[in-house]
Amino acid sequence: MKKAINIGIGFAVIWIILKLIAFNFQIFLTDLKPFIFANMLFVTLGICVSLYLKKKTGEASNLLGDVKTGMTSSIIYTVLVSAFIYFYYQSIYPEFNSSKISEMELLLADESKVAELRVSNPDMENSSSDEIRNKVMTSISQYYSAQFTMTISLLGLLVYSTLNSLLISLIFRKIIFKHQTENSSPNAS
């Protein structure tokens, strides 16, 4: 269990360092996809490494124990990275949120875009252009906040790590360490 925790911490520190290096060199500041995929990779690697080390020791375990081992490393990773994401967008790079809000303000300055919103959303049919702008800007301000970003990353990584732990545990048990599982099952006499 201690190894799984250290693995989760290790991969979280690697992701945080990569994010800070990117910030320092001003690369991928507005493109979030590389860091989202890096999160997915590190959660998957954390689960795989912790399960592999547990299985390599040869100790007998059931599927639930394997899922627990995978979840231990991934939950530690999820909490650390989500806390850093809050800190990052609140203190280190708050300009990201303000730049996204400014982009939306510029987009809404175009009356044709407001008309498109009015047509596409039945709730806004009878609203004035200023009311539509206010509604959109209120929702965008909430969407581009450090709290919302942290909450979404926490939720997304938690769901991803849960499903991944289950799937990777099954793959390890049925394919990679199949011989170990067969040898540890009780014999019928």
pLDDT tens, N- to C-terminus, the chain (189 residues): 688 999 999 999 999 999 999 999 999 888 889 999 999 999 999 999 999 898 888 777 788 988 998 999 999 999 999 999 999 999 999 898 888 888 888 888 888 878 888 888 877 777 777 888 888 888 888 888 889 999 999 999 999 999 999 999 998 888 777 666 555 555 444
**Secondary structure element (H or E) that encloses residue 54, with its range:** helix 33-56
Query: Is the full-model pTM beyond 0.85?
Result: no
Q: What is the pLDDT of residue 28?
A: 87
- Cβ burial of 57 (10 Å; 0-12, 13-18, 19+) is exposed
**Alpha-carbon span 43 to 45, nearest angstrom:** 5
Residue 182: what pLDDT?
53
